Amino acid sequence: MVLPATGRIAAAAVSAVLLLPLAACASDTGQTTITVNINKPPALFEDLIAQFEEENPDVRVQLDPHEAGFIPDLVRGDPPDVRIAGWASAESVLAQRGVFTDLSDTEAAQRIPDTTLDLVRQWGGGGGKLDALPFSLVSAGVIYNKEIFAEQGLEVPQTWDEFQQLCETLTERDITPIYGTFREPWTTDMVMDYVVGDFSDDFAKLREDGPTLTPTSPSSFEGLIGGSLDKADWIFEQTQPDARSKNYADGNVAFANGAAAMYFQGPWALSEVEAVNPDIELGTFALPTTNDPADTQARIVLDLVVSIPTGAKHEDEARRLIEFMYEDRVNADYNTTNAAFSPLESVGPPTDPRLAGLVPYVEDQRFYLGMSAYFGAIPKSNYFQEFALYRNQPAFTTSLTEEWQREARRNELRGIQ
């Protein structure tokens, strides 16, 4: 699996989107070429595209891996026919400006649970419009070294108290519980996402109150997530002493060599750890944050969604490609290969044993988008990193509240939420 892209749509591009021309061009005669803008390496899609072209000889697909060119293409009135990329709050600016075609009438949309579709709709333009279709869901949890757990007679924790006891037992036995990589800001996202859990209701409050927020507002970050930060603080304490000087690559190597029992990373790290130590046995579990196992959920990422920009020149052919991508075998092939979950109810869960601990949660729709997905242009990872390094809760929540309020005011002037 490829490391998820951290960059999305630049805030500076919003004003350009307001000038978006929507005129469509006529299709070419003969074989039609459609352009697909992607934010992943083209090699991930080559087999899928080859199968589509074989079954649709009148269509040729051209992959465009330059995500940064998406906004300029919109402004020039030359949008791609299909966009395949991640989906988070940054995309809400585009959705609210009508950049995407409604896909709620596709056959694919009828086969995806509403719980999953709502993850997209929460950032859309409203009115039931479906701006994109989830194609690949990545579920992230706590990666653990099975050999260390087995040698120490340890079990996967089912409650927060059990998780704390697990870490204390490891420490008593001179084993580092968690390998930390605080040098790279984005690597602290997982801890914050796991302890806060489902942020959708909090996001709705922030979206409503944003322009008038103050650090003492009930919907400030102190009011919304303050109760979860003691857990984040405690988890950060369970890392090795030099966590602040270690980056993601350091973490993969160290964890592969047995430097800690657990690693707060997503499935994209699994292959990188195994590349260092092919014999390591890895598992993943969803972090329990209460003492009721029924409360535990898995964090997911809308790693890839599929959309058609308004004004695409070849919408009919684009829709054919999209429906093809949601055939069971096609969707299953991509997601199985990339340690991800299909959004389709008709496609079974991945059989990768490393993900087995997350499967029941995703199958039962007991999942959430992490808090880090909701910040748009705000550099949230820098603030998360600062909290990991200094553990100053009042400064952390005040800074986030003030950043959110400033961004909300800017968006209010642009006529968006």
Q: What integer pLDDT is reported at residue 18 of this predicted model?
A: 38
DSSP secondary structure, 2-71, as one string: PPPP---S-GGGHHHHTT------PPPSSSEEEEEEESS-GGGTHHHHHHHHHH-TTEEEEEE--GGGHH
Ranges assigned E (strand) in 160-286 = 178-179, 262-265, 282-285
Q: What integer pLDDT is reported at residue 3 of this predicted model?
A: 57
3-class DSSP assignment, residue 275: helix
Q: What integer pLDDT is reported at residue 416 of this predicted model?
A: 72
Strand partners, 139: 300
Q: What integer pLDDT is reported at residue 19 of this predicted model?
A: 39
3-class DSSP assignment, residue 114: helix
The closest of 201, 9, 214 to 97, measured between CA atoms, is: 9
- Under 8 Å between Cβ of 67 and 9: no
Domains of the chain, first to last: 11-138+301-363 (3.40.190.10), 141-299 (3.40.190.10)
Tens of pLDDT along the chain (417 residues) come to: 555 544 444 343 444 443 343 333 344 457 999 999 999 999 999 999 999 999 999 999 999 999 899 999 999 999 999 999 999 887 888 888 889 999 999 999 999 999 999 999 988 766 789 999 999 999 999 999 999 999 999 999 999 999 999 999 999 999 999 999 999 999 999 999 999 999 999 998 998 999 999 999 999 999 999 999 999 999 999 999 999 999 999 999 999 999 999 999 999 999 999 999 999 999 999 999 999 999 999 999 999 999 999 999 999 999 999 999 999 999 999 999 999 999 998 998 899 999 999 999 999 999 999 999 999 889 999 999 999 999 999 999 999 999 999 999 988 887 776
| Alpha-helical regions (H) of 286-379 | 315-325, 328-337, 359-363
3-class DSSP assignment, residue 326: coil
Tell me, yes or no, if the pTM score tops 0.95: no
